[in-house]
Amino acid sequence: MGNKKQKVLAVGSVALDTVKTPFGKAERALGGSATFFSASARFFSDVSVVAVVGEDFPQKHLQLLKNLKIDTRDLKVASGKTFHWEGLYSYDLNNPKTLKTELNVFEHFKPVLSDENRSQRFVFLANIDPEIQLTVLKQVRNPLFSACDTMNFWIGTKKKALLSLLKNVDIFLCNDGEARQLSGEYGLLQAAKWILSRGPKLLVIKKGEHGVTCFSKKFTFVAPAYPLEQVFDPTGAGDSFAGGFISYLTRSHNLDEATVRKAVIYGSVLASYNVESFSLNRLVSLKPSEIDSRYEHFKELTKF
């Protein structure tokens, strides 16, 4: 593969988040599924982000993405307000209560990819309207693999579009509640079978502090979450997991079982760092050596 980094194309929300946890509050902080994804994925691959923000989006946030070497050629600024999400976490840090979802500029967003991005080989459709996810995927000429994420909001409002998207992706990531909601099955194994019969070859079910279970028709892999002394803000845990996971697969160029298992652990390491502070603060200061040391510790923790 040489030293050249592979690139992953990521569409998703770039947002201003208002988040309250039992430990503090952040008001209109930088967030969004594509933002957390990209800030995490940059450790293993290059990233180009496809999204839209409003005129109220602070210049310093755009600058931060550029400083992180995230390609923003397909990040548009439109007239109107930036996507805004407001969430409240109680002591059950796995499930926030959504207080507001204001789509704003995303409501009429019809992405048109730059020519360079139409040639990308690896595509991640982070959580956003499944119709937008499909529009992006269809513009990519010849992807080697594609993956998508979603959330309860879209399962509730755009299930049909989401099911057509699932027919076209190799990997699907969601949390346990979303897997149950989508399939109508209570048992996770039944839900996994239902989802795998709808298209994806690989299904990754995220269970917050209870870890991740990964299903394919050939194997199942179960990984715990990294045990942390303190979780400050779980927002973006799923997206930063996806960032580590997908970019490791992108770098490795394949989806075999051994690679997928390692990718799950790298995803879990990235997510564990992300939840240690509000917004993107920890991902921004994170160093590759810290990722390596937590990965090695993960091995120790799960050896038997």
Task: Tell me which residues touch ligand AMP (CB under 6 A).
Answer: 13, 15, 17, 31-33, 36, 85, 101, 127-128, 151, 153, 235-239
Nearer CB in complex with ligand AMP: 52/237: 237
Among all residues, whose Cβ is closest to ligand AMP?
A: 31
Least distance (Å) between residue 218 CB and ligand AMP = 27
Query: DSSP label at 150?
Result: -
Nearer CB in complex with ligand AMP: 130/200: 130
Q: Decide: 187 and 194 in contact? Cβ < 8 Å.
A: no
Least distance (Å) between residue 149 CB and ligand AMP = 8
Q: Which long-range contacts (CB under 8 A, 24 or more apart) does 63-71 make?
A: 64/30, 64/280, 64/284, 65/35, 65/38, 68/38, 68/39, 68/42, 68/284, 69/42, 70/38, 70/39, 70/42, 71/7, 71/46, 71/47
Least distance (Å) between residue 33 CB and ligand AMP = 5
Least distance (Å) between residue 160 CB and ligand AMP = 17
Nearer CB in complex with ligand AMP: 200/208: 208
Q: Decide: 255 and 47 in contact? Cβ < 8 Å.
A: no
Cα–Cα distance measured from residue 265 to residue 112, given in angstroms and rounded to the nearest whole number: 34
Classify 252 as helix, strand or coil: helix
Q: Tokens 């139409």 appear where?
A: 118
Least distance (Å) between residue 196 CB and ligand AMP = 22
Cα–Cα distance measured from residue 179 to residue 24, given in angstroms and rounded to the nearest whole number: 30
Q: Which long-range contacts (CB under 8 A, 24 or more apart) does 292-296 make?
A: 294/226, 294/269, 295/265, 295/266, 295/269
Nearer CB in complex with ligand AMP: 11/223: 11
Least distance (Å) between residue 52 CB and ligand AMP = 12
Nearer CB in complex with ligand AMP: 249/270: 270
Nearer CB in complex with ligand AMP: 117/127: 127
Least distance (Å) between residue 32 CB and ligand AMP = 5
Cα–Cα distance measured from residue 93 to residue 96, given in angstroms and rounded to the nearest whole number: 7
Smallest Cα–Cα separation from 41: which of 76, 17, 11?
11
Nearer CB in complex with ligand AMP: 191/270: 270
C-alpha distance from residue 258 to each of 124, 158, 267 (Å) = 21, 34, 14
